[in-house]
């Protein structure tokens, strides 16, 4: 086998061409270390654009891969590629056709429809990065920037809730409540509707903390899991949350998804006014 083999693939699209390029790169990995030279030809909207790409492909060789959703352009490219004996692959055509038959619906034939999905994806990534940065009081400056601020003692699911809500594109900061440390003053200056208090049964929390200590290889009778200590923490947390006047959800016997659903319902209710 010639490990230095190279072929050129022209990715033709009536949008940015990112989908076509991603598919070609994924396929090319199956032939490593052979080299595939990808040339993207984005925003092709007319015959002139098609002629230019096919002219280059004809002169220098290679394959044309396209994601054209406008039938007229797609048919023109296929007709001209055949005439010039240029190998071509229609990435979207067969899938769109099959989905149309299954759904008994005509496709929109609108270029660039992947971009709203991209935008949603990047919002999700941004929210996840936000949750990581402002997790467990690492940086209290996030309180002012957050869509939601979670308050609660240790092991009330603040971090998993933050990550779950981040995947719903919400920027979440969470603040641990500890009697030895007053919470940041910022929690009293933002709208209370943005703050969610998390409450838990002391016996339930005791079990959770003992399990946590066991996982870490520490003694289960440590202060962290002491029932009296837990009650002091919960009383302190209740005072803070009452002072703020925020909504409080009991997480004692709820899965993260259930609590998150309550929070999302609360947000929707607040937005509706």
- Using one digit for the tens of pLDDT, what is the confidence trace for 248-263? 999 999 988 899 999 9
Domains 6-112 and 116-272 share a fold: yes
Q: Which pLDDT belongs to residue 111?
A: 62
**The CATH fold of domain 6-112:** Rossmann fold (3.40.50)
Q: How confident is the model at residue 15 (pLDDT cuts 50, 70, 90)?
A: confident
154 is an annotated ligand-binding site residue? yes
31-83: per-residue pLDDT in tens?
877 788 899 998 898 999 999 999 999 999 999 999 988 889 999 999 999 99
55 is an annotated ligand-binding site residue? no
- Pick left, alpha or beta for residue 85 (phi over 0 → left; psi -120 to 50 → alpha; otherwise beta): left
Alpha carbon distance 195, 150 (integer Å): 6
98 is an annotated ligand-binding site residue? no
Query: With 60 as the cut, is the pLDDT of residue 2 above it?
Result: no
Tell me the mean pLDDT in the region 18-30: 84
- 149-182 burial, b at 16+ Cβ within 10 Å, e below that, comes to bbbbbbbbbbbebbbbbbebbbbbbbbbbeeeee
The full set of domain ranges for the chain reads 6-112, 116-272
165-179: per-residue pLDDT in tens?
998 999 999 999 999
Q: Which pLDDT belongs to residue 19?
A: 81
CATH ID of 116-272, from 3.40.50, 2.60.40, 1.10.3470, 1.10.760: 3.40.50
100 is an annotated ligand-binding site residue? no
67 is an annotated ligand-binding site residue? no
159 is an annotated ligand-binding site residue? yes
Q: Compute the Cα dihedral for 175, 176, 177, 178 and give only its sign.
A: negative
Q: Which pLDDT belongs to residue 63?
A: 95
Instruction: Give 115 or 148, the one with higher predicted confidence.
Output: 148
47 is an annotated ligand-binding site residue? no
| CB atoms near residue 72 (< 10 Å) | 11
Which residues is 61 bridged to in the sheet? none
């Amino acid at each position: 086998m010639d490990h230095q083999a190279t072929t050129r693939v022209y990715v033709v699209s009536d949008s940015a061409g990112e989908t076509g390029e991603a598919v070609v790169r994924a396929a090319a990995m199956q032939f490593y270390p052979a080299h595939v030279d990808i040339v993207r030809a984005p925003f092709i909207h007319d015959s002139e654009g098609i002629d230019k790409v096919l002219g280059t492909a004809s002169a220098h060789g290679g394959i044309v891969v396209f994601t054209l959703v406008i039938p007229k352009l797609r048919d023109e490219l296929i007709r001209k590629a055949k005439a010039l004996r240029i190998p071509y692959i229609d990435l979207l055509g067969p899938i769109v056709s099959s989905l149309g038959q299954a759904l008994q619906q005509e496709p929109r034939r609108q270029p660039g429809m992947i971009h709203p999905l991209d935008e949603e994806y990047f919002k999700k990534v941004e929210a996840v990065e936000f949750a990581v940065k402002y997790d467990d009081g690492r940086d209290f400056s996030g309180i002012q920037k957050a869509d939601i601020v979670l308050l609660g003692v240790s092991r009330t699911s603040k971090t998993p809730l933050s990550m779950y809500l981040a995947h719903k594109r919400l920027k979440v900061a969470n603040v641990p409540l500890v009697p030895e440390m007053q919470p940041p003053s910022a929690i009293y200056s933002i709208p209370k509707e943005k703050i969610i208090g998390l409450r838990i049964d002391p016996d339930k929390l005791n079990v959770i903390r003992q399990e946590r200590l066991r996982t870490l290889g520490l003694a289960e009778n440590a202060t962290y899991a002491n029932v009296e200590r837990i009650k002091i923490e919960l009383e302190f947390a209740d005072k803070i949350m009452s002072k703020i006047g925020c909504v409080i959800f009991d997480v004692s016997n709820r899965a993260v998804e259930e609590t998150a659903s309550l929070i999302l319902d609360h947000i929707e209710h607040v937005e509706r006014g």
